[in-house]
Amino acid sequence: MSSSDAWPLAWGIITVLLMFALASGARRTVSIGTLLVLIPFQTVDTRYGSSSVVIAYVLAAVLLLTGGLKGRMLPAIGLILLAYFASLSLADRELLTVHLIFMFKLFSCLVVFLLAYNFATLVEDERSIMDVLLAINVLVVAYCLLQLTVGPGERFVPFGIEALQFNQNRHPGDPRLVGPFDNPGSTAGYFTLMSLVCAAEFIFAKKRRRFWVGMLAAFNLLGLVATGNRAGFLVLLAMFIALLFTFRRELGGRRILQYLVGGTAVLAISATIAVTYTDFGRLFERMGTVTETEGGLPAGRQGGWPVAIEKIRRDPWFGEGPHFWTAEDAERAGESRVEYDEEGEGLDTAYDPYPHSLYLFLLRTVGIFGLLAVVGFFVRTWFVLYRASQRESMKEYRSAIVRIGLLLVPAFLIAQITLEFIRPSTLDYGHFIFALMGLLIGTSDRGLQAATAPNSVKGSLPKYGTGQSVSRSLVR
């Protein structure tokens, strides 16, 4: 093992031990919060899993053994597990190892959901939930700003330490910021969601916090432009209008106009900086081709979508297996397999590309059953949040977090039309998405817990440090 490999492994082991120590004590929120903040940044990343995957499983196991892990959305989670195991039972045995490794990593997202849910129900103040999201956002923005300084096709290497090197930006022919999620689309999706979160927080923040939240929103917009991702940009524009409508009572007509003008100005300034002072200014050039089609398909998707549709037809109900070997996987594994045509000319690859659509990816891998299970989880999340938003007893700030969640879920699902968030190489973004869902569901349940706890004072949160079980209503 080289010294460059030893450092991340050592940090990974130290982090796991620290998580174990914290989870075994009274400060469980510290251990879970630390995991959530570290999600975008992998100290160890191998084909078998990243540091976040290992830490999530270890932390959940410790909490489960000590009676401190509460369940939520278990039927929906169970359907996802059932769909993947059903697909696995019918899959090609030659790829069994590939399927099992992928499932091991993917199921860690469900574990992260439960951990995030427990965090949201354990903290004393719901502002701590927002603080965790903002803390992650600050670190992601700092990471991306450092990436912007090195330019396309380059890596930022902190202090010259190779073991700490950042992800490599897209090449100069396609200069796009990849961010900590190692993919422009995933990073753009993150900036889209966090721009909405910051916009909502800006409504309720006071004084200095309000200023810094506004600055963070501006940096999110700059990062979004630098990714060159059209879908994220268009989704943000639509959802920002929906956000103003959602919070119309808090804002009033005059402030809505101010927010609309101010938001447009901040976007214009951020975009100007990205286009003028960085080498990552392709967004508006790419926006000019957003309506282009080839063979009835969106430009840029004609290579992946037809292949996926053809494979879906072979087994539409359960798919071909939880994962399929792609050119990206082969490149990461150091393998290659070239096919040749009749003239002996090399074709692109024998591996199918990713379809660049969550829904096509799910249909191909786990079929209609799996698609309904995974999408059903997010639909179920939306309905839980919607019912919570209708409770008159919910506090104003708690209600604000729940209502922004009603926008974040559809924003995410719409953006996934052109990208799949559960690729093995971008599963840390999957961790973030499921963590976000857990935080939102946990926030919506805080009022229920306070109202149903036998010894709690109305309006306050009962203590869960001893790991009491929850009522069946929280498991549904």
CA 72-77-78 angle, to 5 degrees, is 115
Instruction: Give dist(CA 336, CA 309) in Å, integer.
Output: 24
Instruction: Specify if 331 maps to a domain.
Output: no
475 occurs within a structural domain: no
Domain boundary among 34, 69, 104: 69
3-state class (DSSP) for residue 399? helix
As a whole number of angstroms, the distance between CA 83 and CA 383 comes to 22
Whole-angstrom distance, CA of residue 221 vs CA of residue 191: 7
Mean pLDDT of 375-400: 91
Could you give the CA distance from residue 194 to residue 239 in angstroms, rounded to a whole number?
12
* pLDDT tens digits, one per residue of 231-273: 999 999 999 999 999 999 999 999 999 999 999 999 999 999 9
442 vs 438: CA distance, rounded Å:
6
Is residue 134 located within the same domain as residue 242?
yes
Report helix, strand or coil for 42. coil
From 69, 93, 125, give the residue that closes a domain.
Answer: 69
Distance CA 315, CA 341 (A): 28
Tokens of 167: 């992800």
Reported as a single tens digit per residue, the pLDDT across 174-197 is: 889 999 998 899 999 999 999 999
Is 125 within a domain? yes
Pair 132, 8 in one domain: no
Nearest CA to 215 among 129, 277, 141, 150? 141
Terminal CA-CA length for the chain: 47
User: Does residue 168 sit in the same domain as residue 59?
Assistant: no
64 and 193 share one domain: no
pTM of the model as a whole:
0.86
Tokens 């045509």 belong to residue = 341
User: Domain for residue 51, yes or no?
Assistant: yes
Residue 324 lies in a domain: no
The pLDDT, as a whole number, for residue 396 is: 85
pLDDT by residue (tens digit) across 317-342? 999 999 887 766 666 665 555 444 44
Examine residue 108 and state whether it is found in any structural domain, yes or no. yes
Structural domain ending residue among the three candidates 69, 95, 115: 69
Q: How do residues 73-130 score in pLDDT, each as one tens digit?
A: 999 999 999 999 999 999 888 888 889 999 999 999 999 999 999 999 989 888 999 9
H or E segment and range at residue 173: none
Please indicate, yes or no, whether residues 86 and 198 belong to a single structural domain of this protein: yes
Same domain for 50 and 91, yes or no, is no
Contacts of 347 (CB under 8 A, 6+ apart): 338, 339, 340, 341
What total of structural domains would you count in the chain?
2
Considering the domain architecture, whether residues 233 and 253 belong to the same structural domain is answered as yes
What's the CA gap between 183 and 425, in Å, rounded? 9
Query: Each residue of 418-465: pLDDT tens digit?
Result: 888 988 878 889 999 999 999 999 999 986 755 544 443 333 333 333
Q: Tell me which amino acid residue 339 is.
A: E
Beta bridge partners of 294: 297
Residue 428 DSSP code = H
Domain span including residue 30: 1-69
Q: For residue 361, what are its two tokens?
A: 């990816």
Q: How far are the Cα atoms of 248, 363, 398, 419 from residue 313, in angstroms, in the given order?
A: 46, 9, 45, 21
Say how far apart CA 382 and CA 402 lie, in whole Å. Answer: 10
Domain assignment present for 42: yes
If asked whether residues 77 and 65 sit together in one domain, one would say no
**Calpha distance 116→440 (Å, rounded):** 9
How many other β-carbons are positioned within 10 Å of the β-carbon of residue 345? 7
- 46 and 82 both lie in a single domain: no
Q: Are residues 53 and 118 in the same domain?
A: no
Q: According to DSSP H, which parts of 182-304 are helical?
A: 184-204, 207-227, 230-246, 248-277, 283-287
Residues 381 and 431 in one domain: yes
What tokens appear for 217 in the block?
A: 């929103």
For 11, the token pair is 């940090």
In a domain, 305, yes or no: no
Q: Are residues 55 and 79 in the same domain?
A: no
Phi, then psi, of 93 in degrees rounded to 5:
-65, -25
Kindly tell me the burial class for residue 37, based on how many C-beta atoms sit within 10 Å of its own C-beta (0-12, 13-18, 19 or more): middle
Q: Is residue 31 scored above 60 in pLDDT?
A: yes
Query: What span, in angstroms and rounded, lies between the C-alpha atoms of 166 and 153?
Result: 12
